[in-house]
Amino acid sequence: MTKAPEQTGASAMWGGRFAGGPSAVMQRINASIDFDKRLYAQDIRGSKAHCAMLVETGILSAEDGAAIQNGLERIRQEIESGQFVFRTELEDIHMNIEARLAELIGDAAGRLHTARSRNDQVATDFRLWVRDVLDGMNGALKDLQAALIDKAQAHADAVMPGFTHLQAAQPVTFGHHLLAYVEMFGRDRGRLHDARARLNECPLGAAALAGTPFPIDRHQTARELGFDRPSANSLDAVSDRDFALEFLAAAAICAVHLSRLAEELVIWTTAQFRFVTLSDAFTTGSSIMPQKRNPDAAELIRAKAGRVIGDLNALLVVMKGLPLAYSKDMQDDKEPVFEAADTMELSIAAMTGMIRDLSVNTLRLKEAAGAGFTTATDIADWLVRVAGVPFRQAHHITGRIVRLAEEQGCGLEDLSLIDLQAVDPRVTGELYGVLGTEASAASRTSFGGTAPANVIAAAKAARQRFL
């Protein structure tokens, strides 16, 4: 093969209009190869599909097509083996690959770019990359849900305090609490699925912005790359990044869910709570306090939510004022997406590990479940259900009983029947049957309630729905 003539500076890419090369500062601000080289596999895959279509439609000869396919495969192997030299002066992954292809096969390399532009090329690469990330994140969340369901089933009857305003409210079960996060992460997976469905249109063939006069087959290219269809409008195909924004929005919501669970792990592992213990694999010690076991992984997950939220905001601001079609601002679309994807991959993996490894202190949970008069609502419910007292009146009666327990410095179950009947004579000894925390939790049998039997059924249903 004849080696393509060497060119340097801007003229290699922009042709005869530019006589001089760019300044060093311009090269630095204009280059994206330091981060967009992550798109190499998608770029090569898109180029192979484009090449096959050009051959099929007769735009490219079979001989040139074969040379291009072989050259692209060699480049892929060079990159994955670490032999490929990325050159900043070539700006991006597309030109780096194209330049290397020219070194390998000569003039035929220049025919690959027929009927496409870097605008539709990068839009295609980026969609393929985000689609792969969506699939990977969905699988990671599925593993996290499995860990939560396993732990929930193992502790379906472990009573703990449920909180509102971070104040003890009513007894719930530990399994029920964990299944709440299974539902949250299930909705996160639903958002990823929806984003993937809307993303799955192929921009390739839209060219710079207006389409191409060549008789290309965009449907063939779309099929080859696993897209549902080609994008319907060439301007839209190259100029929007809503698929990236939708990924970031879904990731940000998921990061908030992870952060809330991380916060609970931080609280639960304190000496004041002692609800759970994290393994050595996900904690650190103190440089001066040997007794410390710090929940650093949970704290870092909590912090990283801010980075993902920031990534979403960054891209929203980049896109908010751009007229159609492509603007160079959009080169800054990738870094926030790459960072968010990396952050979510690490955060989900760390959370999954913590959930699988943590030990649950069921005795401490039970002890805490009874603190703060958490069965007070059970008294009101009993007065309504058994004594026929209107709920608002029952609420006031219960409040007087709680005040009496506070005055005597005892729990509700420690009050004598005489004391209870002094508050309201309709109270009978049967009331004591609902004052235990286990009885309280077991009574919540309404659909979605915390009763252990419900938790077992809900965990089984969650396996069928999500795993």
Q: Which of 61, 286, 327, 416 is catalytic?
A: 286
Is 286 an active-site residue? yes
- On whether the CB atoms of residues 145 and 352 are closer than 8 A, the answer is no
Query: Measured at the alpha carbon of residue 279, what is the angle toward residues 276 and 284, in degrees to the nearest 5?
Result: 105
Supply the DSSP string of 368-391, one letter for each residue. HHTTT-TTHHHHHHHHHHTT---H
Structure tokens at 182: 């299974």
Burial of 400 (0-12, 13-18, 19+ CB in 10 A): exposed
Q: What is the DSSP letter of 156?
A: T
- On whether the CB atoms of residues 233 and 210 are closer than 8 A, the answer is no
- Give alpha helix (H) positions in 273-333: 296-319
Query: Measured at the alpha carbon of residue 62, what is the angle toward residues 56 and 64, in degrees to the nearest 5?
Result: 120
- On whether the CB atoms of residues 140 and 349 are closer than 8 A, the answer is yes
Structure tokens at 397: 């009666």
Closest CA to 51 of 224, 251, 255: 224
The residue with tokens 């309201």 is 424
Q: How remote is the C-alpha of 237 from its chain's centroid?
A: 25
- On whether the CB atoms of residues 114 and 105 are closer than 8 A, the answer is no
The total number of residues written for the chain in this structure = 467
Q: 122-161 as b/e, with b when 16 or more CB fall inside 10 Å?
A: bbbbbbbbbbebbeebeebbebbbbbbbebbbebbbbbbb
Q: Which of 81, 165, 287, 446 is catalytic?
A: 165
The whole-angstrom separation of Cα 44 and Cα 34 is: 17
Query: Measured at the alpha carbon of residue 247, what is the angle toward residues 245 and 253, in degrees to the nearest 5?
Result: 100
Is 165 an active-site residue? yes
Structure tokens at 393: 């009146």
Burial of 375 (0-12, 13-18, 19+ CB in 10 A): buried
**Catalytic positions, written as ranges:** 165, 286
